[in-house]
Amino acid sequence: MKELSLNILDIAQNSLTAKSTLVEILLEETDETLRITVRDNGCGMSEDMVRRVTDPFCTSRTTRKVGLGIPFFKLAAEQTGGRLELESVSQDVSPENHGTVISGLFYKNHLDFTPLGDVVSTVCTLIQGCGGVDIVFRHTMPNGEVETDTREIRAMLGDIPLSEPEILMWIRGNLEEQYAEVNH
């Protein structure tokens, strides 16, 4: 994939599919590293599933098909000398406290580091399609931070859906303004 923001979209879409009510996307940047974490409170995965999703090519013929969203994310991290961490608690195991945390560590100065790309569009796409699911996005950089939280936006908007074009345009503008302030 040409941009890490597309990997993020993929990973966060898994969280929406998993019937989460809250999805947090955290980007933590230093001069040398970028850590991308997606945390959700969705249905979680069994231990067997966790093993299989991170290693799709090392499976027996009888294994049913699994996708490539997580393997691509893992590959993108590992090719920079980084790694993927995945923790998941299935709702079958823990009905009260379940969910998934997937985190990739990237070394930004590595030749094979994929640029982050248009993360604002990724966040807006997710918010557009999130329905009632809440999304928190926070990007911390050495010079400052960018943040949005649909719980706060919903509290301001009342009954207006986040998918209204005017609202999405406002969210996009607000994020771009925050990035401009950090990068000025």
Q: In whole angstroms, what separates CA 39 from the centre of its chain?
A: 7
In the complex, minimum distance from the CB of residue 13 to ligand ATP, in angstroms, rounded to a whole number = 7
Candidate list 51, 67, 93, 109; residue touching ligand ATP; CB under 6 A: 67
Let me know if 137 is exposed, middle or buried by CB neighbors in 10 A (0-12, 13-18, 19+).
buried
> Per rule CB under 6 A, is residue 12 in the interface with ligand ATP?
no
Candidate list 4, 8, 45, 116; residue touching ligand ATP; CB under 6 A: 45
Let me know if 74 is exposed, middle or buried by CB neighbors in 10 A (0-12, 13-18, 19+).
buried
Say how far apart CA 82 and CA 108 lie, in whole Å: 10
- The residue number with the shortest CB distance to ligand ATP is 67
In the complex, minimum distance from the CB of residue 53 to ligand ATP, in angstroms, rounded to a whole number = 4
Sheet holding 99-107, edge to edge: 83-89, 99-107, 33-40, 22-29, 134-141, 144-149
Say how far apart CA 180 and CA 123 lie, in whole Å: 16
Stretch that binds Mg ion, among 49-57, 65-73, 96-104, 115-123 (CB under 5 A): 65-73
Stretch that binds ligand ATP, among 43-51, 74-82, 124-132, 161-169 (CB under 6 A): 43-51
Candidate list 27, 41, 42, 127; residue touching ligand ATP; CB under 6 A: 42
Phi, psi of 51 (to 5 degrees): -60, -40
> Per rule CB under 5 A, is residue 129 in the interface with Mg ion?
no
Let me know if 81 is exposed, middle or buried by CB neighbors in 10 A (0-12, 13-18, 19+).
middle
> Per rule CB under 6 A, is residue 135 in the interface with ligand ATP?
no
Candidate list 8, 24, 36, 44; residue touching ligand ATP; CB under 6 A: 44
Residues that bind Mg ion (CB under 5 A): 14, 67, 69
> Which residues of this protein are in contact with ligand ATP, per CB under 6 A?
10, 14-15, 18, 40, 42-45, 53, 66-71, 100
